Homo-oligomer: A and B are copies of this chain.
Amino acid sequence: MNISFKKLVVVLMLTFVSMSLSACATTEHSGKTAPIILKEQGSFAAGGSVVTNPGTFNPVKMTPEGQTFHGDHAYVFYQIPEQARRLPLVFWHGFGQFSKTWETTPDGREGYQNIFLRRGYGVYVLDQPRRGNAGRSTQSVTINPVPDEQKWFNIFRVGIWPEYFDGVQFPRDQESLNQYFRQMTPDTGTIDINLNSDAVAALFEKIGQGILVTHSNSGGMGWQTAIKSSNIRAVVSYEPGSNFVFPEGEVPAPKASSGGTLGAIGIPLSDFMKLTKIPIVIYYGDNIPEKPIENPGQDQWRIRLEMARQWANTVNSHGGDAEVVHLPEIGIHGNTHFPFSDLNNIEIADLMSDWLVEKGLN
């Protein structure tokens, strides 16, 4: 009887330990209903500059003389789960977008912010200088509300307005489209590659080592940031769209498409070599043509995928570890320019998780 009670004690203890763990722990691939358990969360500004106006501040008149203006910083909201993995993920939005890119999807599902928190990663979602919550810009700007959403519907490869692509991984209800269009926000100053990569490098200076995840327009700025900050231990880039950097002397000729021309940037070999020291993976979605077509929304991605492949080959020819994954080629179809928020974003996140494991970054 004593022994059976001892066994009972052990069984009950294990049961409660198990219950505690299942109630609390953030486990790989856990469902939406499990809680998210945070060790901490918060926000701060990183980088930026200060303009100091000549003169002496007059506290009665309060005119601009002698006053300062802090601007051009990045803003970041971070969340660190309990028992976080060693390296956090820093998420950088694309053109016309902000940190929302990584939050709730247009149809209300969880985005990468939640998905990777649940998988135990610290998650930083940033707004680049002069965008979203980092709107305080040292430049004057005029912003005009030019109707442009059908253009983005096409360039983001949801379809050819008003038609959706067959099998596209995008919800077809009106409210999802409403949310999708409202996740854009304007620039409050010029997009400055050097200024932006400085701010994000300052962010990494503050947080230490991590993994940079870029999208579209931030892809090119991401390479520059990884050159500036040795705290970036890997880069995951979704559909990088511009500003590919090559060693001077190896810069490819501009590529033409019906959606415009894409050039590349030459940088010193010593800088480029820094990109050969970290693992890099690039993903592109579906409905990118193999040969030139009339529709500029799609055709501009043909030359970007081509440039990305050429870029990865150049990185690897210098001893690096860069890989381009064109999702349809591995049997994943229908992805738009936003694979991480598409209907199959769990599958897309699994690919990234597996890559992080493969590179020993988890």
Contacts and interface: CB of A to CB of B under 8 A. Distances in A.
B181 A70 contact: yes
B149 A145 contact: no
Interface in A144-197: 144-151, 154-155, 160-161, 178-179, 181-186, 188
A150 B68 contact: yes
B184 A133 contact: no
A110 interface: yes
Q: Among A2, A40, A70, A155, which residue has the most Cβ atoms of chain B within 10 A?
A: A70
Nearest to A102: B43
A60 interface: yes
Contact of A37 (B17, B37, B98, B179): B37
A143 B144 contact: no
Contacts of A184: 136
B132 A133 contact: yes
Given A42-B110, A62-B296, A77-B103, A182 B136 contact: yes
A129 to B, nearest CB: 11
Contact of A35 (B37, B53, B68): B37
21 contacts: A2-B2, A12-B12, A12-B16, A16-B20, A20-B20, A20-B24, A24-B24, A35-B38, A41-B114, A43-B104, A44-B108, A45-B179, A62-B154, A67-B147, A67-B148, A69-B149, A99-B133, A133-B185, A140-B144, A141-B143, A142-B143
Interface of A: 1-2, 5-6, 8-9, 12-13, 16-17, 19-20, 23-24, 32, 35-45, 48, 51-53, 57, 59-60, 62, 64, 66-71, 73, 75, 77, 82, 98-100, 103-104, 108, 110, 113-114, 127, 132-151, 154-155, 160-161, 178-179, 181-186, 188, 258, 294-297
